[in-house]
């Protein structure tokens, strides 16, 4: 009789422990899923709020010290990183090496974050022939804008 | 034995309910973030789509024999309400960063149908075509080209073109 009670007790404790472990595992997996869903939602919301424009006069691209100057304006609701590690520039489909790009935040010098409505300058060292060209600027989140401009 | 099964079921059932609750809250929060951001995106898109400015020559001032003149354009809002305080200007290709090059009336908003005066100062009386790009907060731009007809003593500015354009993706 006594051994039956002990074995029942052992079974009861063992089942509680196993149930607790399963519940703990379920909690951890759920928490991971929950964090993932929240993060994904925040990322998607951020990407929807990022927006920018290349605001140059397409017929008159300024040149300074052999570099063409392009003005980028944040027309979105959130700041974005503006430096040669996070922004990629293509001209006529060719990638401009980061070493040939100089980024300057005109409204907040020294900062590599372009706040909403701020304007930044990209100096591109490259050789361009007379005629029409296309610049494509791509941000870290993949948002891209292009401008067809004319040289000469 | 029967009590063990009931207790185990109770624990697992409670854990499952809690998990569903946590997932529901996370999903609802994520949906809220995305919904709000989508609304912002749609508003910005709609504002850009419905914005439109038109530029026309309003006036100019100069002194005979002086090689510079000031030219004023009246910019009419043919679209949705805009905020001139958020505009930037590109004069002859260069972004205007100093005061006194381009003057604009001090208005917080430009309502549909309203007109605002924009003056470019100290334009040289040369034979070149000059340009002013007014960049609005939507990213869309009004471009105005003009030239000086005549010489330093006698002449007048002539508006060549006024164009409205918006940025494109890809």
Domain of residue A76, CATH code: 2.60.40
What pLDDT sits at residue B3? 78
A62 and A100, same domain (yes or no): yes
What pLDDT sits at residue B136? 96
A67 and A19, same domain (yes or no): no
A14 and A35, same domain (yes or no): yes
Contact B95 A71 (CB under 8 A): yes
* Chain centre to alpha carbon of residue A118: 17
Question: pLDDT (tens digit, 9 = 90+) per residue, A74-103?
Answer: 999 999 999 999 999 999 999 999 999 999
Which of A4, A12, A27, A48 should we substitute to test contact with B (largest number of B Cβ atoms within 10 Å)?
A48
Question: pLDDT (tens digit, 9 = 90+) per residue, B109-147?
Answer: 999 999 999 999 999 999 999 999 999 999 999 999 999
A30 and A69, same domain (yes or no): no
Cβ neighbours of B99 (radius 10 Å) = 7
Q: A31 at the B interface (CB within 8 A)?
A: yes
The boundaries of the domain holding residue A111 are: 52-151
Give how many domains chain A has, as a whole number: 2
Give the DSSP letter string of A28-85: HHHHHHHHHHHHHHHHHHHHHH--EEE---TT---EETTEEEEEEEE-SSS-EE-STT
Question: pLDDT (tens digit, 9 = 90+) per residue, B30-87?
Answer: 999 999 999 999 999 999 999 999 999 999 999 888 899 999 999 999 999 999 999 9
Q: Residue B18: closest CA among chain A residues belongs to which residue?
A: A27
Q: CA of B4 to nearest chain A CA: how many angstroms apart?
A: 5
Q: Is the pLDDT of residue A8 over 90?
A: no
A69 and A2, same domain (yes or no): no
For chain B, the three-class secondary structure string (H helix, E strand, C coil) is CHHHHHHHHHHHHHHHHHHHHHHHHHHHHHHHHHHHHHHHHHHHHHHHHCCCEEEEEEEEEECCCCCEEEEEEEEEECCCCECHHHCEEEECCEECCCCCCEEECCCCCECCCCEEEEEEEEEECCCCEEEEEEECCCCCEEEEEEEEEECCCCEEEEEEEEEEECCEEC
Q: A117 at the B interface (CB within 8 A)?
A: yes
A66 and A102, same domain (yes or no): yes
A42 and A72, same domain (yes or no): no
**CA distances (Å), A106 to each of A98, A112, A146, B98, in order?**
19, 10, 20, 12
Contact B135 A55 (CB under 8 A): yes
What pLDDT sits at residue A87? 97
A87 and A67, same domain (yes or no): yes
- Backbone phi, psi, residue A75, to 5°: -110, 15
What pLDDT sits at residue B63? 86
A43 and A11, same domain (yes or no): yes
What pLDDT sits at residue A72? 97
What pLDDT sits at residue A1? 60
Which of B11, B84, B145, B162 should we substitute to test contact with A (largest number of A Cβ atoms within 10 Å)?
B11
A29 and A9, same domain (yes or no): yes
Would you say B99 and B89 are in contact if contact means Cβ atoms under 8 Å apart?
no
A56 and A45, same domain (yes or no): no
Q: Residue B40: closest CA among chain A residues belongs to which residue?
A: A49
Q: A21 at the B interface (CB within 8 A)?
A: no
User: Which of A8-12, B11-15, B20-24, B75-79 has the lowest average pLDDT?
Assistant: A8-12
Contact B33 A44 (CB under 8 A): yes
What pLDDT sits at residue A95? 97
Q: Which residues of B touch A46 (CB under 8 A)?
A: 37
Q: Is the pLDDT of residue A2 over 70?
A: no
Would you say A41 and B29 are in contact if contact means Cβ atoms under 8 Å apart?
yes
Q: Which of A9, A33, A49 is the last residue of a domain?
A: A49
Question: pLDDT (tens digit, 9 = 90+) per residue, A98-127?
Answer: 999 999 999 999 999 999 999 999 999 999
Tell me the pLDDT band of A31, cut-offs 50, 70 and 90.
very high
A98 and A116, same domain (yes or no): yes
Q: Residue B134: closest CA among chain A residues belongs to which residue?
A: A55
What is the C-alpha separation between B51 and B82, in angstroms, rounded? 8
The residues near A3 (Cβ < 8 Å, ≥ 6 apart) are none
Q: CA of A20 to nearest chain B CA: how many angstroms apart?
A: 7
């Amino acid at each position: 009789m006594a051994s039956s009670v002990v074995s029942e007790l052992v079974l009861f404790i063992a089942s509680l422990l196993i149930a607790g472990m399963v519940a703990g595992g379920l909690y951890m997996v759920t928490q991971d899923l929950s964090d993932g869903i929240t993060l994904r939602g925040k990322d998607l919301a951020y990407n929807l709020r990022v927006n920018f424009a290349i605001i140059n006069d397409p017929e008159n691209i300024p040149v300074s010290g052999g570099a063409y100057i392009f003005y980028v304006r944040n027309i979105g609701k959130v700041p974005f990183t503006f430096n040669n590690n996070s922004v990629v520039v293509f001209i006529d489909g060719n990638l401009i090496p980061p070493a040939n790009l100089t980024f300057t935040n005109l409204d907040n010098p020294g900062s590599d974050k372009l706040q909403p409505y701020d304007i930044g300058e990209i100096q591109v060292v490259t050789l361009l022939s007379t005629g029409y060209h296309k610049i494509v600027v791509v941000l870290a989140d993949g948002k891209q804008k292009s401008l067809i401009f004319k040289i000469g | 034995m029967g009590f063990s099964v009931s207790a185990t079921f109770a624990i697992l059932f409670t854990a499952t309910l809690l998990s569903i609750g946590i997932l529901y809250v996370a999903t609802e929060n994520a949906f809220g973030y995305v919904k709000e951001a989508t609304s912002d995106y749609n508003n910005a898109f709609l504002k850009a789509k419905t914005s439109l400015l038109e530029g026309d020559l309003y006036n100019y001032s100069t002194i005979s024999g002086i090689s510079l003149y000031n030219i004023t354009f009246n910019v009419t809002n043919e679209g949705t309400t805009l905020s001139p305080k958020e505009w930037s200007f590109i004069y002859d290709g260069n972004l205007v960063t100093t005061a006194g090059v381009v003057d604009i009336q001090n208005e917080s908003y430009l309502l549909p149908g309203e007109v605002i005066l924009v003056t470019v100062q100290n334009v040289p009386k040369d034979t070149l075509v000059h340009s002013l790009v007014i960049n609005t907060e939507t990213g869309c731009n009004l471009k105005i080209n003009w030239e000086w007809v005549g010489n330093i003593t006698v002449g007048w500015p002539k508006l060549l073109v006024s164009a409205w354009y918006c940025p494109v993706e890809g």
